[in-house]
Amino acid sequence: MEVESVLNSIELLNGDLLSDQEKLDEIDHWLKVMNRPQGWHYDMDIIWLLKGLEEAGIKKGDTILDAGAGMGITQFILAAKGYNVISLDFSPRLNPSLAKDIFEIKVIEQDKLDYKHDYIGFVKYDSTKNEGENNKTLDLVEKVWKTMGRGPGYMLNRIKQQLQNKQNKQVNLNEKGKDHTGFGKIKFIRAAFHDIPLTDKEVDAMVSVSAIEHADPKLMQKNINEMKRVVKKGKPLLITTSATGKNKDWFHEKTQGWCFSKETFSEIIGDDLHDNYNPELAEKNILSSDIWRKRIDSYYVNDSESEFYERKIQSLPYLPVGLKIIRE
């Protein structure tokens, strides 16, 4: 049975969102606590959905489904705000060590899933190590040899990263010493977007940060309908994904994700997009944002094969877009 909905907006995200310093500070704190790198557009994604939850009147104690959560910080930011989070992903996960003594996380059975997708193998989560750190123990001589072989720039970046990891570890220890009485609970469940093991209208809102583009595009409408099904009447679905100014969808190999065209978004909502859907203007806005450029993670900046190498970015590989749907 098809679930009807009203689309409030499709919005190409831009650098203006980064003017919210309070939310940026919040993001930075939890990135340090969880020792996570940050995707080049995730600041905009997260701020956009947090604003959407506020505008929808989602209250502390309400339950939010984070679809495609992985080990991303969105679920932890939401729980820290007092929301109860159902964290869904089709890859198996365990309780991350850095979250212990901070969040109450219940892990539902993770070893069984009657669904196969290439991205499940592309992204693997290891809860036994601190996120962002190398899990391999190399002999000191081998470490030095490998580092010297990559040049002084690589050596300097490695030193900076090790220092940052050390600082993040201290932030994590400080956070573990705080009172988390007001935090919401997190539940890890393993499932695909088209088969969510929740009852109809079970959650007060749904968020999904840059995840649906990694699912099977043939199941797009089925995925959206299933997400709508579990959200209460009148409550929001807030989805960020990847958009393109091209006429057809295309696959971004490096991130293993689809970039969706205006035509595809029109098919999702069953209507033409608004006139303010302007990819060229959105790209120009992001590229001209000094805050955005400054905050690009070293993960990208130090990768010579990245479009963002040394922050010398002339164009974006794709555009972040937000879909807000109100469940009817």
Confidence category of residue 312, pLDDT binned at 50, 70, 90: confident
pLDDT at 51 > cutoff 90 = yes
Number of domains in the chain: 1
Residue 19 lies in a domain: yes
Q: What residues have CB less than 8 Å from 205, skipping those under 6 apart? A: 53, 56, 58, 62, 64, 65, 231, 235, 236, 237, 238
φ, ψ for residue 67, nearest 5 deg: -90, 120
- Contacts of residue 286, Cβ cutoff 8 Å, sequence gap at least 6: 13, 14, 15, 41, 44, 292, 316, 319
Whether 162 is in a domain gets the answer no
Assigned domain for 268 exists: yes
Domain residue limits at 225 = 5-133+182-282+320-327
**What residue type is 252 in one-letter code?**
H
- Tens of pLDDT, residue by residue over 139-189, are 444 444 444 445 555 566 777 778 889 999 999 999 999 999 999 999 999
**Whether the predicted pLDDT of 87 surpasses 90:** yes
On whether the CB atoms of residues 24 and 299 are closer than 8 A, the answer is no
SS3 169: helix
- The SS3 call for residue 160 is helix
What contacts 56, CB < 8 A, 6 or more positions away?
Answer: 205, 235, 236
User: At residue 216, does pLDDT exceed 60?
Assistant: yes
Q: Is residue 164 part of a domain?
A: no
Q: Is 173 part of a structural domain of the chain?
A: no
CATH number at residue 225: 3.40.50.150
| 101 belongs to a structural domain | yes
Residue 78 lies in a domain: yes
Q: Would you give the DSSP letter of residue 218?
A: G
Q: Is residue 149 part of a domain?
A: no
User: Mean pLDDT score of the chain, rounded to an integer?
Assistant: 86
Phi and psi at residue 115, in whole multiples of 5°?
-160, 135
